Amino acid sequence: MSAAVTAHDFPEIRWQGHWIWVPEEPIKPSGPLSASVNPQAPETHGLFRKTVHLDQVPDRAPARITADSRYALFVNGQGVFRGPIRSQPRRLYYDLFDLAPYLQPGENVLAVYVKYYGTPKSYWMPATPNLTLGKTGILVFEADLGAAGWLVSDASWKARKSDAWSDQWRNDIEDPVGGGVPIEVFDARRFSHDWYDAGFDDSGWGAAQVVPAMHLGGFASTQPPTDPYGPLLSRVGF
Structure confidence at residue 40 as a pLDDT band (50, 70, 90): confident
Which one, of 31, 228, 230, lies nearest residue 136 by Cα? 228
Per-residue pLDDT, 36: 78
- Is 32 a residue whose pLDDT tops 70? no
Structure confidence at residue 1 as a pLDDT band (50, 70, 90): low
Residue 146 and residue 59: Cα distance in Å, rounded? 9
Per-residue pLDDT, 24: 97
Per-residue pLDDT, 220: 87
Per-residue pLDDT, 175: 62
Per-residue pLDDT, 169: 64
Per-residue pLDDT, 179: 55
Per-residue pLDDT, 184: 82
Structure confidence at residue 46 as a pLDDT band (50, 70, 90): very high
- Is 237 a residue whose pLDDT tops 60? no
Alpha helix (H) residue ranges in 109-184: 169-172
Per-residue pLDDT, 69: 96
Q: What is the mean pLDDT of residues 110-133?
A: 93
Would you say 113 and 65 are in contact if contact means Cβ atoms under 8 Å apart? no
Per-residue pLDDT, 211: 97
